[in-house]
């Protein structure tokens, strides 16, 4: 019986306690809206530990967005050295933000549950097929 690593569980958006159950009901870039399971389909952990818990994920999403905006801004500067119009930067950063939004929504919650929630701990007893 093999145990799931934390990195693998985070990359695949799995439950932080059992690392087996999915956090989300559908795929990241689908046409339907992203839905999260209320409780883990594998171990029954309630993901929203307290009411409004996922508001905290907004701060994580904000940090990811700032990192992407800075990266895209620097890349835009390197690519378009001659063009100094601020609109080039605004449009490039807006497009990048929209494109990463589904990724951001998902992984801000994954990071919150896996790295920033001391009450939720990995329990190998639940990590079985
Ligand atoms: Zn679980």
Higher pLDDT, 113 or 1: 113
pLDDT, position 125: 93
From the CA of 89, how far away is ligand 1's center (Å)?
42
What's the pLDDT band for 29 if we cut at 50, 70, 90? confident
| Residue-wise pLDDT tens digits, 75-89 | 999 998 877 789 999
pLDDT, position 27: 84
From the CA of 14, how far away is ligand 1's center (Å)?
7
pLDDT, position 30: 77
pLDDT at 73 over 80: yes
Smallest Cα–Cα separation from 19: which of 49, 40, 46, 48? 40
Instruction: Name the residues around ion ligand 1, CB cutoff 5 A.
Output: 15, 17-18, 21, 40, 42-43, 45
**Backbone phi and psi for residue 63, each to the nearest 5 degrees, phi listed first:** -60, -40
What's the mean pLDDT in 16-39? 89
pLDDT at 31 over 90: no
Average pLDDT across the chain, whole number: 92
What's the pLDDT band for 45 if we cut at 50, 70, 90? very high
pLDDT at 110 over 90: yes
pLDDT, position 1: 57
Q: b vs e for 17-37, b when ≥16 Cβ sit within 10 Å of the residue's Cβ?
A: bbbbbebbeeeeeeeeebebb
From the CA of 87, how far away is ligand 1's center (Å)?
45
From the CA of 74, how far away is ligand 1's center (Å)?
40
């Amino acid at each position: 019986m093999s145990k799931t690593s934390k990195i693998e569980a985070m990359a695949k958006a799995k439950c932080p306690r059992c690392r087996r159950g999915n956090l989300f009901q559908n795929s990241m870039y689908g046409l339907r809206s992203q839905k999260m399971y209320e409780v883990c389909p594998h171990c029954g952990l309630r993901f929203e530990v307290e009411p409004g818990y996922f508001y905290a994920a907004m701060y994580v999403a904000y940090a990811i967005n700032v990192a992407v905006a800075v990266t895209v801004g620097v890349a835009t500067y390197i690519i378009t050295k001659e063009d100094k119009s601020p609109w080039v930067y605004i449009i490039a950063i807006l497009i990048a933000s929209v494109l990463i939004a589904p990724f951001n929504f998902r992984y801000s919650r994954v990071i919150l549950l896996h790295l920033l929630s001391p009450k939720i701990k990995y329990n190998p007893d639940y990590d079985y097929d």
